[in-house]
């Protein structure tokens, strides 16, 4: 059954000139039919160079918006209309503008997990893998980091020469994991290395052997000589790693590391999208796109 749907998707994406992008939090069966898999930023950059006129983004809304910002001439479809990122949608533009008033002269650094509306009032965008590099490279000494306080603190710790301010935002999935759970997992698997996403709480990240983006975690596990790992990010990554490296062992840091929004997209949704009958097309006002894309282009300029 799964194989039949996958074969249909592969046939239709070719005849309908569709490129499928899948964030690494998607299920194995969706990643198998994707043209590219990876982290949110890598996928948006990849979409710029593909020949297909339609791109289906299997992930959450801010990811599809980022693809649209960088590829305005393509038709961009979000795989499931209800798939949002609670962190990206936590604050509205008005709230960020009020905070900016309080921190005049600060560079507003926005995590890529933000809406186009928030990017439009930010100075530079960062991803979990480029945040330290970009915050170090920008000329401003004072930085207002939005919206993820955990990622922000992780970055600030590595750049003590700069001054950071934060807002109380974050990922409800990653930030829900406490340090007790991390210590318990380490005690249960004493030979395993703990690899976490910096969206986790500061205390959890501090106990980790590595902190980085979803792609960073996968690369670390691939290259490491170690054979056991506790994975502190969405549990789809545990599944992908176990498929890729059957001789290594991967344990979830917590059974609660499940992003409900990322789980919304099914293989059938992907089929509906390539048939032109599913998902939701991202329509973005050109004025908004131009203001929002500026902070992404700035990140690229600073080597993100």
Give residues in contact with ligand SF4 (CB under 6 A).
60, 85-87, 113, 171-174, 199, 234, 259, 261-262
Strand order through the sheet with 193-196: 210-211, 193-196, 228-232, 249-252
Contact criterion met (CB below 8 Å) for 25 and 259:
yes
Residue 265, contacted partner among ligand SF4, ligand 13P, none, CB below 5-8 A by kind: none
Could you say whether residue 90 binds ligand 13P (CB under 6 A)?
no
Could you say whether residue 272 binds ligand 13P (CB under 6 A)?
no
Judged by CB under 6 A, the number of residues near ligand 13P is 11
Could you say whether residue 128 binds ligand 13P (CB under 6 A)?
yes
For 48-111, give the DSSP string: HT---SEEEEES-HHHHHHHHHH-TTSEEEESSTT---TTTTSS-HHHHHHHHHHTTT-EEEEE
Residues 6+ apart with CB under 8 A from 225: none
Nearest distance in Å: CB 24, ligand 13P: 6
Residue 214, contacted partner among ligand 13P, ligand SF4, none, CB below 5-8 A by kind: ligand 13P
Judged by CB under 6 A, the residue of 26, 58, 69, 171 near ligand 13P is 171
Count CB atoms within 10 A of the CB of residue 142.
13
Which of 72/172 has CB closer to ligand SF4? Answer: 172
Which of 18/234 has CB closer to ligand SF4? Answer: 234
Judged by CB under 6 A, the residue of 114, 115, 122, 213 near ligand 13P is 213
Query: For 219, left (φ over 0), alpha (ψ -120 to 50), or beta?
Result: alpha
Which of 188/222 has CB closer to ligand 13P? Answer: 222
Residues 6+ apart with CB under 8 A from 218: 24, 237, 240, 241, 244
Name the site residues for ligand 13P (rule: CB under 6 A). Answer: 39-40, 85, 113, 127-128, 171, 197, 199, 213-214
């Amino acid at each position: 059954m799964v194989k039949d749907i996958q074969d249909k998707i592969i046939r239709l994406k070719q005849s309908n000139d569709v490129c499928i992008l899948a964030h690494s939090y998607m299920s194995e069966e969706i990643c198998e039919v994707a043209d590219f898999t990876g982290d949110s930023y890598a996928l948006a950059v990849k979409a710029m160079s593909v020949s297909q006129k339609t791109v289906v983004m299997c992930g959450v809304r801010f990811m599809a918006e980022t693809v649209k910002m960088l590829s305005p001439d393509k038709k961009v479809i979000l795989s499931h209309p209800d798939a949002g990122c609670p962190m990206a949608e936590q604050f509205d533009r008005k709230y960020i503008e009020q905070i900016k008033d309080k921190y005049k002269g600060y560079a507003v650094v926005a995590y890529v997990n933000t809406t186009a509306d928030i990017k439009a009032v930010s100075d530079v965008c960062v991803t979990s893998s480029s945040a330290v590099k970009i915050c170090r490279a920008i000329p401003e000494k004072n930085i207002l980091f939005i919206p993820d306080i955990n990622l922000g603190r992780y970055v600030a710790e590595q750049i003590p020469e700069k001054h950071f301010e934060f807002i109380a935002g974050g990922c409800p999935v990653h930030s829900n994991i406490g340090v007790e759970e991390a210590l318990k997992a380490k005690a249960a698997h004493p030979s395993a290395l703990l690899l976490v996403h910096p969206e986790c709480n500061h205390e959890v990240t501090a106990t980790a052997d590595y902190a980085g983006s979803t792609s960073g975690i996968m690369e670390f596990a691939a290259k490491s000589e170690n054979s056991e790992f506790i994975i502190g990010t969405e549990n789809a990554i545990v599944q992908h790693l176990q498929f890729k490296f059957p001789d290594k062992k991967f344990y979830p840091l917590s059974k609660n590391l499940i992003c409900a929004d990322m789980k919304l997209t099914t293989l059938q949704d992907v089929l509906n999208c390539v048939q032109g009958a599913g998902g939701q097309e991202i329509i973005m006002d050109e004025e908004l796109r131009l203001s929002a894309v500026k902070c992404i282009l700035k990140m690229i300029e600073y080597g993100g």
